[in-house]
């Protein structure tokens, strides 16, 4: 899967160590394989990030990223 840039909320792009989001990347990758739609994947992404960071993530932002992942993995 190619890398994607993602801005969340009002933050700029993440400035973090390379393996900082390994858990989230692994979980999103697993969900991308089984997702039945872009909306399904977006809901999974939202749940993963809300669980990991303990704060709400906007569905619209997750949907945008899910669409990018979907187009790269399901085509």
| Yes or no: domain 21-74 corresponds to CATH 1.10.340.20 | yes
Is 69:4 a contact under the CB 8 Å cutoff? Answer: yes
Look at residue 19 in the predicted model and tell me its pLDDT: 74
Residue 36: its pLDDT value, please? Answer: 97
Give the number of other Cβ atoms within 10 Å of residue 66's Cβ.
25
> Which pLDDT score, from 0 to 100, does residue 21 have?
84
Predicted pLDDT at 6: 56
Taking a C-beta distance cutoff of 8 angstroms, is the pair 46, 62 a contact? yes
pLDDT < 50: residue spans in the chain: 1, 10-12
C-alpha–C-alpha distance, residues 4 and 21, integer Å: 13
Provide the residue ranges of all domains of the chain, joining segments of one domain with +.
21-74
Q: Could you give the CA distance from residue 58 to residue 36 in angstroms, rounded to a whole number?
A: 21
Could you tell me if 74 and 49 are in contact, meaning their C-beta atoms sit under 8 angstroms apart? Answer: no
């Amino acid at each position: 899967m190619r890398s994607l840039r993602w801005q969340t909320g009002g933050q700029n792009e993440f400035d973090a160590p390379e393996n900082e989001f390994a858990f989230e990347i692994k979980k999103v990758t697993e969900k991308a394989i089984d997702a039945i739609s872009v909306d399904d994947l977006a809901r999974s992404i939202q749940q993963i990030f809300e669980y990991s960071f303990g704060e709400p993530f906007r569905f619209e932002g997750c949907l945008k990223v899910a669409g990018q992942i979907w187009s790269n993995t399901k085509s």
